[in-house]
A and B are shown apart, each in its own frame.
Chain A
Amino acid sequence: MTPYFNEMFQDGAVRKPYAGLEPWSAGMPADRRLAKQAEAEALFRRIGITFAVYGEGGDPDRLIPFDMFPRVFTAAEWAKLERGIKQRARALNAFLVDVYGRGEIVRAGRIPGRLVYQNEAYEKAVCGFTPPKGVYSHIVGVDIVRTGPGDFYVLEDNCRTPSGVSYMLESREMMMRMFPALFRENRIEPIDSYPERLRRTLASVAPVKCERDPTVVILTPGHFNSAYYEHSFLADLMGVELVEGQDLFVDGAFVYMRTTEGPKRVDVIYRRIDDAYIDPLCFRPDSMLGIPGLMDVYRSGGVSICSAPGAGVADDKAVYTYVPEMVRFYLGEEPILKNVPTWKCSDPSDLKHVTENLGELVVKEVHGSGGYGMLVGPKSTKAQIEEFRALILADPSNYIAQPTLALSTTPTFVEEGIAPRHVDLRPYCLVGERIELVPGGLTRVALREGSLVVNSSQGGGVKDTWVLAE
């Protein structure tokens, strides 16, 4: 049995960051805990935070389970994470500007051109165009796991439109409402400036042709989308319009939204729609979600799109293995955060290693997300492993493999009381005129005992994440 790092208890003692939570949790009787848990659930349902799970059918108004036991970082731990995340966000953006420009990193032989230019996420349409401030990915969600006191690994980068930030904010809101005393007793860094900082970040990348206070909108695929709650939540907190494709149109060299008072020009679009759907004239002609002509306006500097079309080539799982190389190449620095060692099945010797050690590895699809299409070797049956082996052999370049990481655990409220459960962390790094991130992130927790899959689509829950002040 792997000795997992427990973030609260080490050698029978409580680690310092959790000292403030020890009496709180120890002194909570079961009935109070249940009552509080029910209160939290009622509040979540009341405000409408729900999450639809892809392809599972069932109740579209399902709640993501919320665990009241906070996850805590010290100021020193966070300082290191923050430096590492910002470094990564800078490198990823430099990479994107480069590969749509001169492609120096490919010319220098530091990453194979095939991985970049033949990548499905590489958008030829934006070659030679540099977005305002040279930013492609304005919100970088970096998924981080911990295996020891000072051991953090980046599991993957999300450069397009990482979701979940509404859960980060609502979890905090919930904790402050239910346990105000905790916030008086512990000095916890606030995170509520996130929406305002996001709005400022977006406004800071207004296009060159915008000469006034920029109008920012959020573009959603619509209210049937599983993340619609988050879209409307952010629009509300930022004080910007939440639009669908049909609300926007191109006239001349600009984009406008349809309002009851006539057309209103839009300068920055924070889109929560994939590249393929944003403009039927440029990408998928069958898209009903997009705005015809948007890409022409974008490429001539009439509107900004966040994240910039084409950003996806940086968060591809095969490109991921080269991020440390990007840090060295563009920034001349050593990576602060480590990558998880990764075997690329497209490489014959890696493939051999993977197929021989499937029982110990985690195998993922290169383009997959949300915990779908993956194999967790140690948790799988022989039959599941054999089934996956066939999938890999049929299309090796579609898969990568990583060792099964000993994800840290934090105490979590479960039916029997309090028990350790595995967690990960997704902080949201904002990149505009400045690079910043609020002290915190979304902690996802695998609620099933022993499970290492934290995705909400696979039975994961969320927790409030604390960063203690110095």
Chain B
Amino acid sequence: MIGSNERPLTKNIDPSRGALDMDGYERAGGYLGAKKISSGMDSSSMLGMVKDSGLKGRGGAGFPTGLKWSFVPQGPDSEVQKYLVVNADEMEPGTFKDRMLMEGDPHLLIEGMIIAAFAIQASKAFIFLRGEYFESERCLVKAISEARDKGYLGDNIFGSDFSFDIVMHTSAGRYICGEETALLNALEGKRANPRAKPPFPQVSGLWGKPTIVNNVETICNLPGIMANGIEWYQSIGSGGDFGTKIFGLSGRVKNPGCWELPLGVTIREVIEEYGGGMQEGYSLKAFLPGGGSTDFLTPEHLDTELTYDAIGKLGSRLATGTMILLDDKTCPVGMIGNLMKFFSHESCGFCTPCRDGLPWVDSIFEDFERGGGTHKDLAILHDHVEYMGPGKTFCALAPGATAPLGSGLKLFKDEFEAHIKNRACPYKH
């Protein structure tokens, strides 16, 4: 193990009991970070602190959070109304980390939102929650009401001149709503199509006002940073990234789940120490390191540190940090096909390569599954990796889909060939 044993995100989470209520959370040291807004800390120094902490967005893109915030126009000439939006539409295949945070310690999220809102001077925030997360909704609604009762939300919170409140929005549930501008459109009651950037939401976001959209986990990092300082935060993690991250495992490991670990932990540690290694009779063939829209890595990469840079250098992405493992008894073609069906269905239908490219890819995988795949089909799949790649589409959905597709076509060339040759899936017949 590297770094410290600090678990700022999950320290209050105990599966044997429900989430801490307001009193319990405060007794555990909660709201100390947020209370700094009434102890003379101004918004720009709070923003500066987040910037200096090196916190990167945990939603997938890994963009420095403080830098993102600094694009919000401030000062007397700026738009008065600003918004904070928490992206809780967790729908990346294989990802279930935000749910754990919201159900396990909802006050942590609320405290983080107060900090973020103060830093960007937003008087109102929305939690855009995945519709299926009923339990998260229940926990959050309860926590928000407790915070309101206590005066931590509403007018002049903590006795400062800062007023702030949170609106809970349960979404209808679309993967595309994880794309921050599509999320904003959905929140406005429009079709969940992404918006053109520029303008970025920091300048013209929700209802045309400056808006910051952050992932749940990103926000949950803030109370710790505020309460314990930058030095403490940067003492956690290695390999150029700071703080902890929730890493998850799904697939045929003995102990699938998710754990808060310092950034920089190796893949092997997560799989072997926390996941308990592969189940008996299964060996690891490959894995997606950060959810469904990342490139496959193989066992030879097991000793790589889980940092944004290190995984990036291998040609994949850390993204949500939730790994999907492929074992030797599961058909990789079937696995990719399953992902393609998901992405195809979740395309918003706005731009051509994604809307019409993915269904074609999906139907080819269906043919492979039935044993009808051909070399012509294989060529079409290869073409689509290029055709739907980064820069060609309106947003990152289709390029995300090409990550497992492109890497899978290379890595599992033999398996694809075997499907064509056998006229059937070799794992089933």
Whether A associates with B in a native complex is no
Q: Which residues of B contact A (CB under 8 A)?
A: none
